[in-house]
Each structure stands twice: as C-alpha cells, then as structure tokens.
Amino acid sequence: MAPAFSNGSGRPADILIVEDDPIIAIDFEDRLIGFGVTSVRTVGSVTQALEAIAKRAPDFALLDVELIRETSFAIAERLVALKIPFVFVTGHDADARIPSEFAGQPRLQKPCSSDALEAALQIGAME
C-alpha cells in the first residue's frame, strides 16, 4: 500500500536524512529539494534521528549505515515498526555489516547519481 504523500507528487513530502558527513547531507538535501520534496530534515546520530521521528514521523528516510561511532540499525527498526519506507546509504560494501532482517532493504551506494537517488524515492513511494 502506497502512503498518501501530502504534496500529491507521488514522492515523499517529508524526508529524514541520517548522515554524519555534512557535505554529503547537504548534497542529498539540495538534490531532494530539486526533485520537489517539500521538507528535508537532516540529523547525524541515532539519538537525533529517533527524536526527529518521535516529533514528526517522516514519509521516507535515507539512512547512512555507518555513522561516526554507531550504525543506523536502531533507526531502521523504528522505521519498520512505523511502516515508514527507507533506503540504506553506504560508502562501503555493506552486505557483511547489514543484519539479516534488513537484507532485502533497498540500498544506495555512495556516491550516488541523481537518477539513483530519484529511483530510491520511487521505491519509497511504492512501499
């Protein structure tokens, strides 16, 4: 069942980016806004992400797998519980690092093209 996105575009209206590298986060944010996403929130840690989700659940999330001293799997668990679509983003071969319960989750390899990022949003719209 596709979520009802508030902007009517078939794309998520509110996206949460969990990324510890500010340059990558800004790049994602700029491209998402260019795609017509109306709200992009960026956080850099698990605690900040869980707080942001508790305040206002996003339509979709981009999760950097490896944060500074932690991984984003606790965030992924929360998003699954809330039935919020998300994509893992990684600069590494994350197959060995991603727990089996998330093995089928879509992934973006850093750096990613704008086409790949836009395709990920469409995956989110179909969830």
CA distance 125 to 36: 14
pLDDT along the chain (127 residues), means of 10: 46 94 95 94 97 97 93 97 95 72 89 91 66
| pTM, two decimal places | 0.88
Question: Degrees (nearest 5) of the Cα angle 123, 79, 122?
Answer: 10
CA distance 37 to 117: 12
Helix pair 114-126, 22-34: axis angle to 10 deg: 70
Residue 95 has a pLDDT of 56
Residue 124 has a pLDDT of 59
Please give the domain boundaries of the chain with CATH numbers for all domains.
Answer: 14-95+103-126 (3.40.50.2300)
